């Protein structure tokens, strides 16, 4: 999962644009269509046949691929290439029409990310370089530290040129997060003559880092990084008391590289009513990415392999995206290549990113904005996608909750063109609340995934109970929509609505083994 959110303005623009576009093409609902195949039959069969043992085997493969390739499966690296080959080989053998879609992207790898207070107190700081920040000179820079008043004095610190009153020329300027974009703070620091900028967090947790970005690759003028709130507040207090000197070194390798999406489609089914399911296959450079997003990739692969044995009414197109960790670039490239008519052929998009977090919550993307937070509802049909997941979990007696379309995963480009979207998520760097711990178990106050974007996101970072439950829900939803999308777009027999009611009323009739961990220890919840 991408480490930074899209801005509220960006997400709102995507959602609003989608709502406007879909209004012109919304289907008219007339007389009920003739009765067709029962979606619950295929959905139940898939949910039974998709097993955590098989998914775990795929995860072992991804772990070994990473281990054999420098500990990473990042886009364009040998580890990603081998991962994509593994997926493509499995799908080809299963009978899918498999396509490799190559594209170029701006690759970045952090080589140096260091900061220290030189005086009056010698100590090491923990910066995180912002995406699109320029580099410092090799060896770094050492300069006086200046500070802009923080949130205690100003609700929009660093958001106005006047906030930089006083002397900041030639300094590394310290400014608190909040009130405007990182780019605005950066631009005001540039105008004030600063040689670098450090943006410290406003989060409740004093140790939580800032993972941010500037607008694009052309917008960075001075080296810019984030700091935890605790470090920033301590530095600001020292600046208020007297001179402070800090050193900063930020070095990021930047070059254009080529990577690939893997796309596989069923041979049968309606080509004008395609059900899409996607999961990003790439990891961050820093680790093997077995939860993020080996979990979604492996679970989706197993759903696809089991679906290959079945007959479908609608074509199902599975995608394993690359360069998600560089800004959703694989899914963005794919959508950008679709004509409007090809977009209309896509009935809906399902997204599965991080479905086995160790300290998990059971999140469903909030298609109808019933939680009334964040970006608003998805395009028309997204609420109905959410309904299918809710009904499935309800039928299993599994509590769940909504999560916002923040723009941090590959549903973003689909929402941008008004394609109904939804999916599952179990949490990233955010922290589990006491209410969630009571609901799901696990540890209140701890991250859903303490190894998010780190080297420790390995095979031991998988909660196999969450993986099993979510994979079955994925299989159920794919089975329902592979048969009937009438609740989403009016195409089909209308049986999907009945399947949703059946799932909500009782457990589906196919016997299932209880959720278990098979042969591997995992972090308890």
Please check whether residue 197 is in contact with residue 177, taking contact to mean a CB–CB distance below 8 angstroms: no
Secondary structure E strands in 394-477: 401-403, 421-425
Torsion, Cα 369 151 215 81, to 10 degrees, reads -70
What is the Cα–Cα distance from 19 to 35, expressed in whole angstroms?
A: 30
Residues noted as catalytic: 324
Please check whether residue 473 is in contact with residue 424, taking contact to mean a CB–CB distance below 8 angstroms: yes
How far from 454 is each of 254, 430, 457, 486, CA to CA, in Å?
A: 20, 15, 6, 42
Please check whether residue 44 is in contact with residue 479, taking contact to mean a CB–CB distance below 8 angstroms: yes
| Cβ count within 10 A of residue 373 | 12
Residue recorded with tokens 């939860």: 291
Residue recorded with tokens 């829900």: 473
Please check whether residue 357 is in contact with residue 291, taking contact to mean a CB–CB distance below 8 angstroms: yes
What is the Cα–Cα distance from 376 to 358, expressed in whole angstroms?
A: 28
Tokens (6 digits) for 477? 């939803």
Tokens (6 digits) for 445? 């106050």
Report helix, strand and coil shares of the chain as percent, to nearest 5: 35, 20, 45
């Amino acid at each position: 999962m991408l480490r930074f959110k899209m801005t509220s303005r960006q997400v709102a623009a995507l959602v609003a644009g989608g709502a406007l576009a879909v209004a012109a093409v919304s289907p008219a609902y007339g007389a009920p269509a003739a009765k067709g195949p029962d979606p619950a039959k295929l959905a139940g069969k898939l949910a039974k046949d998709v097993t955590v043992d098989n998914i775990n085997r795929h995860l072992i493969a991804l772990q070994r691929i990473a281990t054999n390739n420098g500990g990473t499966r990042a886009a364009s690296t040998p580890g990603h290439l081998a991962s994509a080959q593994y997926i493509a080989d499995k799908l080809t053998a299963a009978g899918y029409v498999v396509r490799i879609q190559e594209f170029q992207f701006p690759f970045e790898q952090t080589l140096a990310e260091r900061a220290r207070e030189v005086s009056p107190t010698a100590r090491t700081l923990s910066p995180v370089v912002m995406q699109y920040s320029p580099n410092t000179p090799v060896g770094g820079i050492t300069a006086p530290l200046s500070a802009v008043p923080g949130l205690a004095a100003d609700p929009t610190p660093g958001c106005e040129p006047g906030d930089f009153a006083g002397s900041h020329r030639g300094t590394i300027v310290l400014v608190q997060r909040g009130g405007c974009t990182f780019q605005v703070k950066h631009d005001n620091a540039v105008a004030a003559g600063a040689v670098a900028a450090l943006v410290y967090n406003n989060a409740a947790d004093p140790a939580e880092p800032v993972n941010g970005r500037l607008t694009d690759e052309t917008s960075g003028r001075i080296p810019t990084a984030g700091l935890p709130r605790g470090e920033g507040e301590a530095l600001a207090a020292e600046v208020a008391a007297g001179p402070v000197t800090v050193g900063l070194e930020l070095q990021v390798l930047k070059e254009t590289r080529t990577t690939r999406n893997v796309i596989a489609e069923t041979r049968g089914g309606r080509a004008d009513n395609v059900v899409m399911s996607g999961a990003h296959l790439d990891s961050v450079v820093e680790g093997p990415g077995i939860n993020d997003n080996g979990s979604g990739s492996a679970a989706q692969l197993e759903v696809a392999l089991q679906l290959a044995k079945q007959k479908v009414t609608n074509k199902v197109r599975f995608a394993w995206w690359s360069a998600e960790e560089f800004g959703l670039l694989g899914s963005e490239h794919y959508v950008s290549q679709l004509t409007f008519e090809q977009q209309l052929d896509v009935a809906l998009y399902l997204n599965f990113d991080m479905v086995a977090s160790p300290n998990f919550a059971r999140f469903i993307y909030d298609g109808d904005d019933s939680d009334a937070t964040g970006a608003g509802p998805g395009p028309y049909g997204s609420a109905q996608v959410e309904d299918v997941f809710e009904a499935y979990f309800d039928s299993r007696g599994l509590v769940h909750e909504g999560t916002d379309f923040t723009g941090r995963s590959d549903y973003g480009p689909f929402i941008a063109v008004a394609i109904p979207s939804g999916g599952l998520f179990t949490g990233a760097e955010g922290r589990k609340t006491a209410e969630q711990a009571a609901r799901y178990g696990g540890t209140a106050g701890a991250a859903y995934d303490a190894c998010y974007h780190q080297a420790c996101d390995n095979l031991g970072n998988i909660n196999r109970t969450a993986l099993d439950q979510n994979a079955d829900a994925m299989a159920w939803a794919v089975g329902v929509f592979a048969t009937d999308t009438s609740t989403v777009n009016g195409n089909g027999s209308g049986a999907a609505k009945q399947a949703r009611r059946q799932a909500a009323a009782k457990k589906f009739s196919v016997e299932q083994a209880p959720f278990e961990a098979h042969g591997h220890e995992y972090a308890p919840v």
